[in-house]
Amino acid sequence: MGRGQPETSYPRAFTVGVDMAEVTYLQADGIIDRVDFGEIPPKVEYSLTTFGRTLGKALAPLCEWGTKNSRDVEAIMARCKARERRHAA
């Protein structure tokens, strides 16, 4: 979906690792389109809407930042988890 290309998939294959409730929300919010071809076996295409593509462009710099700073982010997350464990004990 990231490059505007439709994703064709059977529902079971698509749902592996994907929260279908989130997919429904993304569709309802106008971020993705879903086309059901009404075929057996089921054939469904998902694609980003124009709005979804603008969101992708907005998030790209954040993804780049996360990639460049992944070690620092991982260290921060480890410190947060350690604090949580100390407070839970």
CATH number at residue 46: 1.10.10.10
**Residue 12 is encoded by which pair of tokens?**
């079971």
42-58 b/e with 16+ CB inside 10 Å = b?
eebebbbbeebbeebee
In tens, the pLDDT along 9-35 reads: 444 445 567 788 898 999 999 999 999
Q: How much of the chain, in percent, has pLDDT values that exceed 90?
A: 66
Mean pLDDT computed over 73-84: 95
Q: How many CB atoms lie within 10 A of CB 63?
A: 10
**68 within domain boundaries:** no
Number of domains forming the structure of the chain: 1
User: Would you say 27 and 33 are in contact if contact means Cβ atoms under 8 Å apart?
Assistant: yes
pTM value is: 0.59
Distance from CA of residue 79 to its chain's centroid? 26
| In a domain? residue 71 | no
- Does residue 37 belong to any structural domain of this protein? yes
Domain ranges, residue 49? 7-63
